[in-house]
Amino acid sequence: GQQVMQIPQYQHVQEGEDFTTYCNSSTTLSNIQWYKQRPGGHPVFLIQLVKSGEVKKQKRLTFQFGEAKKNSSLHITATQTTDVGTYFCAGRGNDYKLSFGAGTTVTVRA
Q: Which is nearer to another protein, 76 or 98 (CB)?
A: 98
- Dihedral sign of CA atoms 104, 74, 7, 81 in order: negative
Instruction: Give DSSP secondary structure letters for 34-93.
Output: EEEE-TTS--EEEEEE-STT-EEEETTEEEEE-TTSSEEEEEE-S--GGG-EEEEEEEE-
Binding of another protein by 98 (CB under 8 A): yes
Binding of another protein by 39 (CB under 8 A): no
Binding of another protein by 9 (CB under 8 A): yes
Q: What is the H or E stretch that residue 10 is in? A: strand 10-14
Q: Which is nearer to another protein, 98 or 108 (CB)?
A: 98
Residues in contact with another protein, counted by CB under 8 A, come to a total of 24
Binding of another protein by 29 (CB under 8 A): no
Site residues (vs another protein, CB under 8 A): 4, 6, 9, 31, 33, 35, 41-45, 48, 88, 90, 92, 95-103
